[in-house]
Structure 1
């Protein structure tokens, strides 16, 4: 990543829902999509430079988002991230032994 993402008002596309959220960012590194294992899929991309902003495990109830959803610059744009986290917890509770 030549330049980092710093500050608010960074547009990020949710690939699954084809929506855009306004996010707060503060990082200087990004995951190289070509280096990802088959157990990861891309969920979010920066509309500024196309870098990965979100990934989801296909074999485990886990995901990652490269930004600060708690900053809520949207102010509700990142709510689906928290909702998805709660969904994963509820699904895990149903299947955990």
Structure 2
């Protein structure tokens, strides 16, 4: 199992780029970069699927895990950065659930 560190770039109003580092052997090796999109249209799609705020947060966390797993072709555990990314996601999607 790989140990992965996630490093978010400066978030935009509708997305955030995340750099994925493999730190399994004690050295940082850049593996890929992914983009989490949380624009109103993205959140509306989750709402149409019947997801509430907590369901949407869970969706984003599972999505991040699945996308990183796809790129590194193995299971992984986070050694840092996921909480910071999820805080960014929560901050940006929460207003869309207050409107509903």
TM-score by shorter chain over 0.5 = no
When you count helix as a share of all residues, which structure comes out higher? 2
TM-score by length of 2: 0.39
